[in-house]
Structure 1
Amino acid sequence: MLSTYQYQKFPYLTPPELQTEDITRRQVIIVGAGPVGLAAAIDCKLQGLDVLVLDDDDTVSVGSRGLCYAKRTLEILDRLGVADAVRNKGVEWNVGRTFFRKDEVFNFNLLPVVDHKHPGMVNLQQYYLEEFLVRRAIELGVELRWKNRVTAVEPTTEFSTLHIETADGSYAMQADWLIACDGARSPIRQMLGLEVEGKVFMDRFLIADVLMKADFPAERWFWFDPPFHPNQSVLLHREADNVWRIDFQLGWDADPVEERKPENVIPRIKAMLGDDREFELEWVSVYTFQCRRMEKFRHGRILFAGDAAHQVSPFGARGANSGIQDADNLVWKLKLVIDGLATEGLLDSYSDERVFAADDNLLNSTRSTDFITPKSTVSKCFRNAVLELAREHAFARKLVNSGRLSVPSILKLSKLNTTDSDVFAGQLQLGAAVEDGPVIYQGKAGYLLELLQHHFYGLYFCEDASQIPAETLAGFAALKGLPVPVHTFIISATATAVGRDDYQVVHDFKGLLAERYDANIATHAGYYLLRPDQHLAARWRQFDLGKVLAALARATSCQEGHGHAITTTA
């Protein structure tokens, strides 16, 4: 099908339920083996949950589709065990350039400061990401059932019954919890009569994946009104295998069937690259995009994630990145609920937080679309004036919008946060995904986020770990002994102490973590409570065990003094 990629057919196996009249019940069933469903399944398995994945296909996605994976997504994939494969195969980049007609008017750097483990973006065709996720799921023992199509869902207050069709017949299963990751057209959403609300944009875009050898830098190039495609926009990206993604804006009146034909695609590419550039068409598609979401992502014991819950325009790379962050937000909460350490109300925070994130993405995607495709003559004049001014004036560059690229949403209004009682400066905000930085841990150089898995963590900043008071160390031990334990990392400016069972010590040998967290270690010893998805839940200038316990109770939706999370063990 593609000259650069060999599609693998995953084996269909006859489900054992066809051999019995008993209905099997599973803890978690995920429908959809795309990036979001597979990420959720891997996370479930890593956290010890019984998980089954159903998919109506038997291979990875056709065509490159999702392409750009942002730094935060790479950090999540690192925890899941696939980031190295993605980076080794993909194309890393940080710089984007915007052109108006013939001239560059604006550029940006996603990582203007050094000492981050991951780049701002990695470009990689979606079929590779899915392949790596499938491999990792199989390695962990996740049960994947290919060519198993869900035809009906019957929800109750305790479980959902799924009716599933295969080549060998139909069967039924029950799921304590059902996660729907079955795409923008989500059959499960339709079966339940649930709607998505928003708008479809009246424009069409041509995607052409082009195989060619070119010495263009690994950067994002975006043109407004270029001479080779006047009055429209064009985007150029490099992918793996010497494949280049080119997006041509076509306009609403374009015929999608005609525009996909090679005799119409090739002249557009030659006009852009010149007649002397040799290339081959790898994959072509025409799409119309939409910005829509469900009203809420939790419906009883059924949870929606990824495109099944929300859809955005591709400009800004907010689709797959947001979906993987959905899974990252959801699974730790589901784990606590299943283990009886939090009430089901914690899952309402999944919907609340990811609806907030979806609205953030929808707003940014809508603004990008309005800038790329002005809806009136006045809007177009404004847009072109901004682009002209951007060449010389910094204020105008802030208005240039060829797609605000994916960043994790700051969950500043989350009910799981504990409001700051101290004053903090710097960019790190309450509810944000926390900052990474280089550390030395057990004699080896690495990065902080590599050490954080799927637990609650406390980061205790100090100048010298060997000088921490005994009562503070006793507090760390108490936190480690909770049913929902908090694992403390002491972030020390000097390498004078080693960890023990109750806490670990890392050396902030460049001082960057203290700077990025505004820890102010010269006069304070700050403590920062991180959720399992590495979002900042609470922080204080001084460690206070009672305050940490109260914040942990809030972050697990337990009432202070009554929740499992704050009951110490003997």
Structure 2
Amino acid sequence: MLQTYSYPEFPYVQPPEQASGQLVRKTAVVVGAGPIGLTTALDFASRGIPVVVLDDNNTVSIGSRAVCYAKRPLEVWDRLGCADRMVDKGVSWKIGKVFRDEEQVYQFDLLPEADHKYPAFINLQQYYLEEYLLDRAKDFGDLIDIRWKNKVVSLKNNADHVRLSIETPDGIYDMEADWMVACDGAKSDIRSMIGAEFTGQFFQDRFLIADVVMKADFPAERWFWFNPPFHRNQSVLLHMEADNVWRIDFQLGWDCDPDEEKKPEKVIPRLKAMLGEDAEFELEWVSVYQFACRRMKSFRFGRLFFAGDAAHQVSPFGARGANTGVQDSDNLGWKLKLVIDGLAPDSLLDSYNAERIYAADDNLKNSTRSTDFISPKSPVSKAFRDAVLDLANRHSFARPLVNSGRLSSPTPYAVSPLNTPDSDSFAGKMLPGTNCADAPVRVNGADGWLLNQLGDGFTALYFSADGSVPADLAALAGAPVPVKTIVVGGGLEDVKGLVTERYDGTPGTVYLIRPDQHVAARFRHFDAARFSAALNTALGKN
């Protein structure tokens, strides 16, 4: 029991299949009701895919766990109808500061440009996040069937379905699924059941997480210390959370005893050394973790997919775990819907593997570099780290080399098979494979945001000088895979000129946007044949 949060207990209900003894095949099953499993379920349901969520527990996560959520996942949750509540409860921030000893050596701004709907990051305890996702799931009625205390104990991955054996307080029952997504965490039972392994490395270091309830005058920023006077020869990280809770991470080294380090008589002296002997605080939650950078060789096994920590695991520096997992969910749902509806070939689902492994490798690379900088493994590495910190205080060129955790940002699918490479010249960052940038807009006299207008289907973003649209482009709204047209300079007013600026949108320019709000193709002038070919490529047909 925490001081600031009361854990809900969700009721177990005997599954109807178990009561009737009938073997039923479901369209989709998600294993794990954590942030990634629930986001996957919400995405499926928002597209009309009925989904069963199986979880062997009956409450939300114990402890704050993942607390830092980036702008891109917030945009995904906004599309799913639950981001604003997270932002309202969480602590918004964008400034990070790095200290060596007692001296600040570096400061960074994670969102230096204005006019985005969501902040660079929010800090919010994972149990709140899960609670809000569960509340949103209720709005979908029977499309989302969450089954508590349903533990998958075996499975058979067949060519056209997955068969599961599920243990409940009433015994074991079987169920089949056309499609299944394993979101059951880094210790995934599903991964073990199919004999798949992680490849990568464990790091020989441990950190202590201490969630502390206190009123403090620290700003809502990310503070990281190298070799502070209150914790010599190690590192410390500070974050503000909701409810006057502060996350403090202490580097412990590899030789520590995790069970001993979690005891209050060990934790409290560390906190007093940092906060002062007279500081008033109470321990909320304590944990010790070892970190790893690993992934599966493949995220798809026929009808079975892996997402989140079940598929890839990174160190916590950079907040890349949950944020990356949400983007797994965002990548899969639209593809599965098109395949289920017969509008795209099964090969479209292979692009989930290609794109999300590409993103996982990018995250693993950045996470490994951060971990090596924070916890150097050799005298040479430590000498380099210390030299960078020395230089960063006086020379701007060295500051980007200070790596206290490169904070999570979405990985563009630069080599995706769904991209149509540029054949025209463009400026800016909106390359094919990149997630769309937001900007303020006005539609029918109402202020809003570009991403909310894009929605969750294929969209043509057309820049018009006079509000007109090529007839062949408008006709795509009635195609078998409909393409909605949004006209910048027509029905959509670019109130600050930022849509035009961020997309280099000269008159006649057209973008093909995927249902997950990534750029699939862009052209300086609309040509029906080229645009249709790009759409087929984005559908996995080429």
TM-score bracket, normalised by the shorter chain, equals over 0.9
Alpha-carbon distance in structure 2 between the residues aligned to 1:5 and 1:460: 48
More divergent stretch after superposition (158-167 vs 133-142): 133-142
> 1:12-161 to 2 correspondence within 5 Å?
12-141=12-141, 142-161=144-163
Alpha-carbon distance in structure 2 between the residues aligned to 1:462 and 1:478: 17
- Normalising by structure 1, we get a TM-score of 0.94
TM-superposed deviation, 1:476: 2.6
Alpha-carbon distance in structure 1 between the residues aligned to 2:72 and 2:343: 28
> 1:37-436 to 2 correspondence within 5 Å?
37-141=37-141, 142-436=144-438
Alpha-carbon distance in structure 2 between the residues aligned to 1:392 and 1:479: 57
Alpha-carbon distance in structure 1 between the residues aligned to 2:504 and 2:219: 36
The equivalent position to 1:550 in structure 2, one of 527, 533, 539, is 533
Whether 1:481 aligns to 2:483 is: no
Alpha-carbon distance in structure 2 between the residues aligned to 1:512 and 1:462: 15
- Normalising by structure 2, we get a TM-score of 0.99
Once the two structures are superposed, residues 521-561 of structure 1 have per-residue CA deviations (whole angstroms, 9 ceiling, x without a partner) of: 2xx320011111111110011111211110000000114xx
TM-superposed deviation, 1:452: 2.4
Whether 1:508 aligns to 2:494 is: yes
Alpha-carbon distance in structure 1 between the residues aligned to 2:176 and 2:14: 18
Aligned match of 2:454: 452
The equivalent position to 2:509 in structure 1, one of 510, 518, 526, is 526
Whether 1:490 aligns to 2:473 is: no
Paired residue type of 1:442:
N
Alpha-carbon distance in structure 1 between the residues aligned to 2:272 and 2:509: 59
Alpha-carbon distance in structure 2 between the residues aligned to 1:530 and 1:450: 13
Alpha-carbon distance in structure 1 between the residues aligned to 2:149 and 2:457: 35
Q: Kindly tell me the number of residue pairs found equivalent between the two proteins.
A: 540
Once the two structures are superposed, residues 160-184 of structure 1 have per-residue CA deviations (whole angstroms, 9 ceiling, x without a partner) of: 1100011111110000001000110
TM-superposed deviation, 1:245: 0.2
TM-superposed deviation, 1:454: 1.5
TM-superposed deviation, 1:378: 1.5
Aligned match of 1:517: 503
Alpha-carbon distance in structure 1 between the residues aligned to 2:278 and 2:444: 56
More divergent stretch after superposition (220-229 vs 419-428): 419-428
More divergent stretch after superposition (421-430 vs 173-182): 421-430
TM-superposed deviation, 1:483: 1.4
Paired residue type of 1:456:
F
Aligned match of 1:500: none
TM-superposed deviation, 1:277: 1.5
TM-superposed deviation, 1:386: 0.4
Alpha-carbon distance in structure 1 between the residues aligned to 2:495 and 2:508: 17
Alpha-carbon distance in structure 2 between the residues aligned to 1:391 and 1:546: 56
Aligned match of 2:444: 442
In structure 1, the gaps of 5 or more residues are 498-504, 560-570
TM-superposed deviation, 1:461: 1.2
Once the two structures are superposed, residues 410-445 of structure 1 have per-residue CA deviations (whole angstroms, 9 ceiling, x without a partner) of: 101000000100011112222110110000011111
Whether 1:539 aligns to 2:541 is: no
Alpha-carbon distance in structure 1 between the residues aligned to 2:430 and 2:45: 31
TM-superposed deviation, 1:139: 1.7
Alpha-carbon distance in structure 2 between the residues aligned to 1:405 and 1:536: 23
- Secondary structure at the aligned position of 1:289 is classed as strand
- Secondary structure at the aligned position of 2:44 is classed as helix
- Secondary structure at the aligned position of 1:117 is classed as coil
More divergent stretch after superposition (132-141 vs 426-435): 426-435
- Secondary structure at the aligned position of 2:204 is classed as coil
In structure 2, the gaps of 5 or more residues are none
Alpha-carbon distance in structure 1 between the residues aligned to 2:466 and 2:385: 54
TM-superposed deviation, 1:477: 2.6
- Secondary structure at the aligned position of 1:414 is classed as coil
More divergent stretch after superposition (475-484 vs 7-16): 475-484
Aligned match of 1:565: none
Once the two structures are superposed, residues 245-300 of structure 1 have per-residue CA deviations (whole angstroms, 9 ceiling, x without a partner) of: 00000000011011000000001011111112100000000000100000010001
TM-superposed deviation, 1:475: 1.7
Paired residue type of 1:525:
G
Alpha-carbon distance in structure 2 between the residues aligned to 1:60 and 1:257: 24
| Same amino acid, percent of matched pairs | 61
TM-superposed deviation, 1:380: 0.8
| RMSD between superposed Cα atoms in Å | 0.9
Alpha-carbon distance in structure 2 between the residues aligned to 1:512 and 1:18: 56
Alpha-carbon distance in structure 2 between the residues aligned to 1:189 and 1:377: 37
TM-superposed deviation, 1:22: 2.1
Paired residue type of 2:336:
L
Alpha-carbon distance in structure 2 between the residues aligned to 1:430 and 1:331: 20
Alpha-carbon distance in structure 1 between the residues aligned to 2:425 and 2:532: 20
- Secondary structure at the aligned position of 2:253 is classed as coil
Alpha-carbon distance in structure 1 between the residues aligned to 2:431 and 2:100: 35
- Secondary structure at the aligned position of 1:106 is classed as strand
Where has structure 1 moved over 3 Å in runs of 4 or more?
A: none
Once the two structures are superposed, residues 327-347 of structure 1 have per-residue CA deviations (whole angstroms, 9 ceiling, x without a partner) of: 000010010111111111111
